[in-house]
Amino acid sequence: MRAPPSFTRGTIMQHVHTARTETIGSRENGFARSSDGALDIRLSSPAGNRLGTNPEQLVAIAWSASFASSLKHVADIRRIKLHADVRIYANVELSSDDQGYVVGVRLDIYLPGLDREIASALVEAARLECPYCRATHGNIHAFYNLV
């Protein structure tokens, strides 16, 4: 399947990956699975009694994993060795206001062994590269903190 024309950015884009999932039901009582069978989960509401994963948890994992890959990439380009214990703690918050629900994200980034100035520069470069950061820029309040 090709991306719709609205996804083009003026350059020829090379397709990298398509994730396909099926969701039956909703966050309160649903199920979701990936087409390759690697993911097969029950969905639940954050405040519900049902065992399962809520959409905010899935976004937190996806965003932090993508950001970690972007951090590694920009560190490799700059020939900066990252410690094996790099950690990203993702907080995805669902809030509401008078216009409906809104999502906020905070990534707390642990880069052991790096000077704070170098670590800050890597975080900024990764923020500009990460597909999740770019896709949501201006739509989701996102904060990136060194811990």
C-alpha–C-alpha distance, residues 112 and 87, integer Å: 9
Residue 88, C-beta contacts closer than 8 angstroms, at least 6 positions apart: 64, 67, 68, 71, 107, 108, 109, 110
The predicted model gives 26-53 an average pLDDT of: 90
The share of the chain scoring above pLDDT 90, in percent, equals: 68
Rounded CA separation 64/88 (Å): 6
Confidence of residue 9 (pLDDT cuts 50, 70, 90): low
Higher local confidence (pLDDT), 7 or 104: 104
Kindly state the average pLDDT of the residues 49-68.
93
34 pLDDT exceeds 80? Answer: yes
Dihedral, 40, 46, 48, 49 alpha carbons, nearest 10: 60
Q: What pTM does this model have?
A: 0.84
Strands (E), 40-99: 40-42, 87-97
Tell me the C-alpha distance between 59 and 18, whole Å: 17
Tens digits of per-residue pLDDT, 80-114? 999 999 999 999 998 888 988 888 999 999 999 99
Q: What share of the chain is helix, strand, coil (3-state, %, to 5)?
A: 30, 30, 40
